[in-house]
Amino acid sequence: MPTTAPRPTARSAAAAPSPAGQPAPRLGVLLCNLGTPDAPTPAAVKRYLAEFLSDPRVVELPPLLWQPLLRLAILPLRAKESARKYEKIWQPEDGGSPLLAYTRKQALMLRGWLGEAGLRGVDVQAAMRYGQPGIIAQLERWHAQGVEKMLLLPLYPQYSATTTASVIDQAHAWAGSKRNMPELRIVKHYADDAGYIAALARRTLEHWQTHGRPEVLVMSYHGIPARNVAKGDPYAQQCQRSAALLAQQLGLQPAQYRVTFQSRFGRAQWLQPYTQPTLEQLAREGVKTVDLICPGFASDCLETLEEIDMEVRQAFLAHGGQEFRYIPCLNDHPAWISALRDLVLRHTAHW
């Protein structure tokens, strides 16, 4: 989604010094993920959730109604509960948040792979829509270096107004504050991208080479309110498209896989079928072995490591299932970095 930039000034992006004294990049590529608290503590989680749940793209309620409920009721309780969950997955030896650690690894690897592909003078960084490191801070850093071209690649394969559109909002609001605007491009979605689907299939097949095939493969996506789809959000359709393409790559028949939605929040109806009840029903029906993959998550995080691999696992086993096998997210898998590289090369082809 290009934004027309003004004519370059006499200052050359290639000659502008970076903070480290090195020539500034001519192009910045920003991998944008959702976000993470700074620590697995109630105070840190409360700050993170307050920013996240105050985004009108996430909660479409009038602020005068929503903010008192959020500040007085939801945050005090949810922050403590979420902090306990974050403690279960926190990895101090790897930088704490798995989401942040994997996103940074992806950025580091992608920078190298782009260089090997012949795209020189490119800086690749990781940023979070909520929490740190922030998107605006990195855009400001590049702008101060004189970088004229910036590509934002949200790590949401399927577009939703609750995720990708929020990144677009923030980036355009920042650019709109600049007299000399950089040229911005934003990758809207890649739900049916061949490289993305191939990476998912490669991850799954490698898992099956070690553990064997399950009776049922469950593909669990993050949910959104059903009313969002009724208003025109294409997210559900794109999730189904990704799932069908992955099933085709894996040679699965319709009875061999399920598409579900997780992480429901509040009492409103969200996209269905819900993940945990589906796993419980499969167990009651006599299914003994299931594999579960989360195609909509580029990096393992709270929703995959705690909600899926702990809570949903326990629910499946408690209802009669015998073996629950979680397939990790794409993370730093080489096939995924290859897909990201190809996405960047296509979207920067004329730069």
Buried b (16+ CB within 10 A) or exposed e, 193-203: bebbbbbbbbb
From 16, 4, 156, 113, select the one nearest 332 (Cα to Cα).
113
Residue owning tokens 């910036």: 150
HEC secondary structure over 5-32 = CCCCCCCCCCCCECCCCCECCCEEEEEE
Among the listed residues 87, 88, 77, 80, the one whose alpha carbon sits nearest the alpha carbon of residue 40: 87
DSSP bridge partners of 243:
none
Helix (H, G, I), strand (E, B) or coil at 340: helix
Given strand 323-326, what is the order of strands in its sheet?
257-262, 216-222, 289-293, 323-326
Question: Is the Cα dihedral 331, 332, 334, 339 positive or negative?
Answer: positive
- Listed as own residue / partner, the contacts of 321-325 with beta carbons closer than 8 Å and 24 or more positions apart are 321/279, 321/282, 321/283, 321/287, 321/288, 321/289, 321/290, 322/288, 322/289, 323/214, 323/288, 323/289, 323/290, 324/279, 324/290, 324/292, 325/207, 325/211, 325/214, 325/289, 325/290, 325/291, 325/292
Q: Residue positions in the annotated binding site for Fe(2+)?
A: 222, 303
The answer to whether 99 touches 33, Cβ cutoff 8 Å, is yes
For residue 87, the surrounding DSSP H or E stretch is helix 75-89
As annotated, the binding site includes 222, 303
**8 A C-beta contact, residue 82 and residue 52:** no
Under 8 Å between Cβ of 12 and 147: no
